[in-house]
């Protein structure tokens, strides 16, 4: 059967329930090189998802204060010197970026592609490719752009990436990985990390050997998605390989795979001894997951019982409205920047603006299925969003949908589930 690796299809196969030892919790801090991550939680790099709008959105959704329903933020050691705000998400990562493309881009386009804001620190830029020299050049570009860390992608299972010997395709060529590690490590002074899978398939498990190689080549941390490339996103993540990697190296190990709840995050740490947890596909459907982990940790430290807030319908309304408005605002900011560079909008500029608006609406439709998960009548809202032609129409559909739901609740009527 042909496998698809688009994020929309990354559902869970019969997710496991984990026993919860009393002491299990996510660490408060993690240090990678000279960068302090607090708490020890990481937003995974996701193609087509973790652009600057989504990254800042997650940071805001993850804000953790005493008002959010648990103990004070100090109890989870959220360090404002590294996060700029009290956020339950300690580190964010960019979408994976082609090293070949980055090295060929004009300076102006490169700056736009590597856009990030001050409140995104600490932030890591993830690169993929197979040529050591090109990856080293791109790592220097990333360092010059002010990123706190640079990461090498050895995990993407997409056919188009693997066909170029990038992503998880390199798992079949450890000597080439070693050449890449050495070239990039020699090129930059910022922390250098790697994200990888346990192997190409069950007959080619290389995660422990690869982690040792990373340590020997001077990398500062390793993140393991506990599946093979052949697994894609199916079956259960095999956390025992995260434990094996942790036992094999002294550099920090970040665990990734099947974290849907704060309990899952704590269970992974307990089962593997990993130094931090990385969360991917849960984040688009539950942007509060990082805040919930912080609340769970703080309440467990304070009372011995882990608790956290569950989002209300009003929370979901604000979340959807906020993210979509951020998309619209980002396009408006880009247009203002371009207008400052040109006295008049040229024909090509008009085409670019129309393309950005199409991209904005496309992103809204992409996220609609995740964001409406758990919303009463969510399928109705999804259809309205899919039928919308522009950003304003999407925002109007959201306002009208939730206003009708509020009116129905106030009138004591049952909200119809679509």
pLDDT, mean of residues 153-168: 89
Query: What backbone torsions phi and psi does residue 97 show, to the nearest 5 degrees?
Result: -120, 135
Helices then strands, counting H and E runs in the chain, come out as: 16, 11
Secondary-structure percent of the chain, ordered helix, strand, coil, rounded to 5: 50, 15, 35
The secondary structure of 5-58 as a DSSP string is: --GGG---SSPPP----TT----S-EEETTEEESSSEEEPP-TTT-SHHHHHHH
CA–CA dist 178, 176 (Å, integer):
5
Does residue 261 have a pLDDT over 80?
A: yes
In contact, 82 and 122? CB cutoff 8 Å:
yes
pLDDT at 135: 97
Return the pLDDT at 144. Answer: 95
Tell me the whole-structure pTM to 2 decimals: 0.85
Residue 131 has pLDDT above 80, yes or no: yes
The answer to whether residue 207 is catalytic is: no
Q: Residue 143: which residues within 8 A CB-CB, separation 6 or more?
A: 150, 188, 189, 190
- State the pLDDT at residue 40: 96
Q: Which of these, 145, 31, 46, lies nearest to 82 by C-alpha position?
A: 31
CA distance 395 to 392: 5
Query: Using CA atoms, how far apart are residues 299 and 263, in angstroms rounded to an integer?
Result: 13
**CA 297/CA 299 separation, integer angstroms:** 6
pLDDT confidence of residue 3:
42
Query: Which of residues 246 and 76 earns the better pLDDT score?
Result: 246
> Looking at per-residue confidence, does 196 or 70 come out higher?
196
DSSP notation for 235-262 = S---HHHHHHHHHH-SS-EEEES---SH
Give the max Cα distance, the chain: 68
Instruction: For residue 151, list its beta bridge partners.
Output: 126, 193
377-412 as b/e: b if 16+ CB within 10 A: bbebbbebbeebeebeebbebbeebbeebeeeeeee
- Give me the domains of the chain, ranges plus CATH numbers: 7-303 (3.20.20.70), 313-410 (no CATH)
- Is residue 89 scored above 60 in pLDDT? yes
> Does pLDDT of 103 surpass 80?
yes
Residues whose CB is less than 8 angstroms from the CB of residue 54 and which lie 6 or more positions away in sequence, other chains included: 284, 323
Residue in the block written with tokens 């329903």: 69
Q: Which residue has the tokens 């990354």?
A: 10
Q: What is the pLDDT of residue 79?
A: 35
Q: pLDDT tens for residues 31-52?
A: 999 999 999 999 999 988 898 9
Q: What confidence score (pLDDT) does residue 409 get?
A: 74
Q: Which pLDDT belongs to residue 1?
A: 37
Residue 128 pLDDT > 90: yes
What pLDDT, in 10s, does the model give residues 201-255? 999 999 999 999 999 999 999 999 999 999 999 889 999 999 999 999 999 999 9
Give the integer Cα–Cα distance in Å for 220 and 203: 28
- Residue 81 confidence (pLDDT): 36
Two structure tokens written together for 286: 């539950």
How far is residue 33's CA from residue 251's CA, in Å, rounded to a whole number?
9
291-297: average pLDDT: 91
For residues 334-344, average pLDDT: 55
**Of these residues, 156, 207, 217, 360, which one is catalytic?**
156
Closest CA relative to residue 327, chosen from 276, 274, 388: 388
* Mean of pLDDT over the chain: 83
Report how far apart, in Å, the C-alpha atoms of 275 and of each of 28, 253, 259 are: 10, 5, 15
Report which of residues 325 and 143 the model is more confident about.
143
Does residue 59 surpass a pLDDT of 70?
Answer: yes
């Amino acid at each position: 059967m042909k496998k698809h690796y688009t994020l929309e299809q990354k559902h869970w196969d019969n997710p496991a329930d984990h026993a919860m030892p009393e002491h299990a919790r996510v660490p408060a801090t993690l240090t990678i090189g000279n960068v302090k991550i607090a708490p020890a939680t990481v937003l995974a790099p996701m193609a087509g998802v973790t652009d600057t709008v989504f990254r800042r959105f997650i940071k805001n959704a993850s804000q953790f204060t005493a008002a959010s329903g648990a103990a004070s933020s100090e109890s989870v050691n959220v360090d404002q010197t590294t996060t700029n705000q009290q956020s339950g998400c300690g580190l964010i990562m960019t979408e994976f970026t082609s090293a070949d493309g980055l090295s060929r881009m004009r300076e102006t386009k490169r700056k736009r592609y590597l856009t990030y804001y001050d409140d995104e620190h600490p932030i890591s830029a993830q690169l993929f490719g197979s040529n050591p020299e090109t990856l080293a050049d791109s790592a220097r570009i990333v360092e010059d752009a002010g990123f706190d860390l640079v990461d090498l992608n050895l995990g993407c299972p997409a056919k188009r990436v693997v066909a170029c010997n990038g992503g998880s395709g390199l798992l079949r060529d450890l000597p080439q990985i070693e050449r890449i590690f050495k070239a990039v490590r020699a090129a930059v002074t910022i922390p250098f990390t790697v994200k990888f899978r346990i192997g190409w398939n069950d007959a080619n498990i290389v995660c422990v050997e690869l982690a040792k190689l990373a340590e020997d080549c001077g990398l500062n941390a390793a993140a393991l998605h506990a599946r093979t490339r052949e697994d894609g996103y199916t079956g259960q993540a095999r956390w025992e390989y995260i434990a094996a990697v942790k036992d094999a190296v002294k550099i920090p190990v970040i665990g990734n795979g099947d974290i849907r709840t704060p309990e899952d995050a704590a269970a992974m740490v307990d089962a593997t001894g990993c130094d931090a947890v990385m969360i991917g596909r849960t984040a688009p459907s539950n942007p509060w997951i990082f805040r919930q982990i912080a609340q769970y940790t703080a309440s467990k430290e304070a009372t011995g019982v882990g608790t956290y807030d569950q989002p209300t319908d009003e929370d979901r309304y604000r979340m959807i409205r906020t993210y979509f408005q951020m998309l619209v605002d980002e396009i408006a900011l880009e247009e203002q920047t371009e207008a400052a560079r040109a006295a008049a909008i040229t024909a090509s500029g008009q085409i670019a603006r129309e393309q950005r608006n199409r991209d904005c609406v496309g992103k809204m439709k992409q996220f609609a299925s995740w964001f409406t998960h758990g919303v009463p009548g969510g399928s109705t809202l999804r259809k309205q969003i899919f039928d919308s032609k522009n950003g304003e129409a999407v925002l109007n559909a959201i306002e009208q949908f939730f206003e009708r739901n509020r009116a129905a609740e106030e009138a004591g009527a049952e909200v119809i589930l679509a």
